[in-house]
Copies of this chain bind each other. A is one copy, B any other.
C-alpha cells in the first residue's frame, strides 16, 4: 500500500487553517446557517471530533472564520487604496469601494462578520484584523475632521453610509424585485457624502 497522501498527524498546524477554509466554503455554499463542525472535519479529512483540539467549540471556529473575514476585508480596502492617489477625497472613495468589493466578492463572509453573533473578541487574530479595519477607516477620514469635531462623528458617518449601502445591497436588494432594476450605484451616494464633507468641513 502507498502511504496516505495526507499524513494522519500533522505537526505544522495546517489542520486549523484547513478547517477555517472548510468553514468559509460551507458558508458560501449553504448560507449563513450552513456551518457545521462535523462537515468541516469531513472536508479536511479528519474525524468528527478533531476540530475540538484546535477550537474550544463551534463559537471558536466561528471566531476564526470571522478573523479571516476581517483580514480579507482589510485586503479589499488596501487594494483600492494602493490604486488611489494621495488626494483625501480619492482615498475616501477608495475605501468605500473596497468595502463594497469585499461585500460583493464574499457576501457570505460579509454577512457572517456582521451577523451580530458573539465572537470571541479577545482572540488575537480576530481583534488584530478588526482593529486594523477600523484603523484604515480612521486614517482615511482624518483629513475630513474639522477642528472641534470628534473624529468619530466623521468616521461613523462614513462607515454607516457605506456599511448600510453594502448591507442593504446584500440583504434587501436581491429579495426585492422592484428594487433590483433601480438600485443606485455606490457613486450616487458618495457624491452626496463628498459634498457633505466639503461644505461641512
Contact = CB atoms under 8 A, between A and B. Distances in A.
Interface of A: 31-33, 107, 111, 114-119, 121, 130, 134, 150, 152-153, 156-157, 159-165, 167-168, 170-172, 175-176, 179, 182-184, 188-189, 192-193, 195-197, 199-200
Shortest Cβ-Cβ A-B pairs, 9 listed: A164-B164, A160-B164, A111-B116, A163-B164, A160-B165, A196-B196, A152-B182, A192-B196, A153-B184
A180 to B, nearest CB: 11
Contact of A156 (B116, B159, B163, B189): B189
A139 to B, nearest CB: 15
Contact of A114 (B134, B161, B171, B195): B171
A195 B200 contact: yes
Number of copies: 2
B32 A115 contact: yes
B182 A150 contact: yes
Nearest to A112: B116
